[in-house]
Chains A and B, each alone.
Chain A
Amino acid sequence: MVNDAAVATPTRFSDADAPLPLPAFQIVPLVGLPIVAVLVALLIVAIVGDWLWALNFFHVVAGGLWTGIDLFVGLVIGPILGRLSIPARIEFTVRFMPKMLLIMPTLVTLTLASGWQLQRHLGYLLLSYPQHWWLTASYIVVGVMTVIALGLLEPANLAVLFELKKPRPDPTVIGRLMRRFIYTAGVTGVMQLATLVTMTRIATW
C-alpha cells in the first residue's frame, strides 16, 4: 500500500554526531481529517443510495490513485530518495510520511467499500467459477497488500515518525525500519500490476 520505498539506511546523521535540525511536524496532519471525513460521508451516501455512478467514481478514482501512488512512490520517488543526502532524506520523510498516513488508508477504504458495492450492484458475485476466479484473484491481491501495509509498512511508518520526534533520533532504528520499505516495495509493485490486470479484465466483461 504505502511504498515509501528505498528511503535507505542512514548510518549516521552527521560527522559531528550533532542532532539534525528537523522541521516541526505532526504525525497525523490534523488539517486533513475534515477532508477524510467528508470523503467517507460521501461514500456512505453513495452506498446507501446505491448510486451506481458515484460508486463507480469512487472505485475508479480512489483505486487509480492508490495503484498510481504505490507504483510512483515505489519506482520513482524511492530510488530518488535513496540517492539523497541523509538530512534531505529525513526532511522529505517528515513532510511526506504524515500525509501518506492519511491519504493511503482513505484511498484504500474508498476503493474497497465502493468496489464491493459495485460488484454486488453489477451482479458479479453471482458469476460462477471459473469466471469467478477473477474476483477471487482480486481478493487475494488485496489481502496480500493488506498484510504488507498493516503488518509491515504502517507500523514502520509510525515508528519512524515517533523516532524522529525524539531530540536525538537513533539512525540505527530508522535505518532498520526503512529497510522494510525496500524489501516490500517489490512485492507491492507486483501486487499492483496484478490489480491492474484483474481490474481491467473484470471491467471489460
Chain B
Amino acid sequence: MVTAEPAEHAGMDAVDHRLPPVTELAVGTLVLIIVGGIDVAARLPQQAALWLPIVLLVAAVVLLIANVVVLSRVQAFAWHTFFLVVRYAVLAYIVIAGMLEFVFVLDGTPGRLLALLTAMLVVFAVDIPLLFGFSVARYQPVDRAD
C-alpha cells in the first residue's frame, strides 16, 4: 500500500515521493487523447484510417485504468477534498464533453467515427477531474477518518 503523511505536517517532497505518479499518468492520458483527436480532425471529412486514433484511445484507457488503480491503493490521502473537487469537475466536464458530442451528432458524424469520438470524450471527462482532484488533494491534510 502507498501511504502519505499529512501535507501540513510532513515536508512537501516527502509527501510527493510517497504518492504514485497520478499527475504524470493523467497528463499522458490527456496527450494520447489530444493526439488522437488531432489525427481524426486532420483527416476529416475522410475517415479511411482510424487505426492510429483507436490505438491511442486504447493506450489512453489503459493508462487511465492504471491511474485509478494506483490512486485507489493510497490509504492516507485527503479523499474528502479529492471527491469534492472531482464532483464539481465532473459536472463541468460533462457539460463541455456533452457540448462537443452534441456538435458531432448535429453534424451527422458517421457511426464508427462518432463511437470513437464519444469514447475519447468519456476518457477526457474522467481523466481531467481525476487530475484536478489529485492535484488539489495531494497538498491537503490527510483524512484521519479514512
Min Cβ gap A175→B in Å is 10
Residue B38, interface by CB 8 Å: yes
Residue of B nearest to A168 (CB): B8
Given contacts A132-B42, A139-B41, A151-B30, contact A120 B12 (CB under 8 A): no
Which residues from 129 to 188 on chain A have a C-beta closer than 8 Å to any C-beta of chain B? 132, 135-136, 139-140, 143, 146-147, 150-152, 154-156, 158-159, 162-163, 166, 168, 170, 172-173, 176
Q: In chain A, residues 25-51, which have Cβ atoms closer than 8 Å to a Cβ of chain B? A: 28, 40, 43-44, 47-48
- A155-B103 in contact (CB<8A): no
CB of B34 within 8 A of CB of A143, answer: yes
Decide yes or no whether A125 CB sits under 8 A from chain B.
yes
Q: Which residues from B are CB-within-8-Å of A48? A: 106
Minimal Cβ-Cβ distance residue in A for B28: A151
Shortest distance from the beta carbon of B20 to any chain A beta carbon, whole Å: 16
Is A109's beta carbon under 8 Å from chain B? yes
Contact B135 A156 (CB under 8 A): yes
Residue on B with the closest CB to A133? B42
Are the C-beta atoms of B7 and A173 separated by less than 8 Å?
yes
In the complex, chain B residues whose CB is within 8 Å of the CB of A151: 26-27, 30-31, 131
Q: Are A159 and B136 in contact (CB under 8 A)?
A: yes
Cα–Cα distance between A158 and B38 once the two chains are bound (Å): 27
| In contact, B38 and A143 (Cβ under 8 angstroms) | yes
Contact assessment for A109 and B38 in the assembled complex, using a CB-CB cutoff below 8 Å: no
Nearest-CB distance from B109 to chain A (Å)? Answer: 11
Flag B88-102 by CB within 8 Å of A: 1 or 0 each. Answer: 100010011001101
Chain B residue numbers with a CB within 8 Å of A120 are 107
B7 to A150, Cβ gap below 8 A? no
Give the shortest distance, in Å, between A106 (CB) and chain B (any CB). Answer: 10
B-contacting residues of A (Cβ < 8 Å)? 28, 40, 43-44, 47-48, 105, 109, 113, 116-117, 120, 125-126, 132, 135-136, 139-140, 143, 146-147, 150-152, 154-156, 158-159, 162-163, 166, 168, 170, 172-173, 176
Known: A151-B27, A155-B134. 12 other contacts (CB 8 A): A47-B102, A105-B96, A109-B96, A117-B103, A117-B107, A139-B41, A143-B37, A147-B31, A154-B132, A155-B131, A155-B132, A162-B81
Question: Could you pull out 17 A-B pairs where Cβ atoms are within 8 angstroms?
Answer: A28-B88, A40-B95, A47-B106, A105-B92, A109-B99, A136-B41, A147-B30, A150-B128, A151-B27, A154-B132, A155-B132, A155-B135, A156-B135, A162-B85, A170-B139, A173-B7, A176-B12
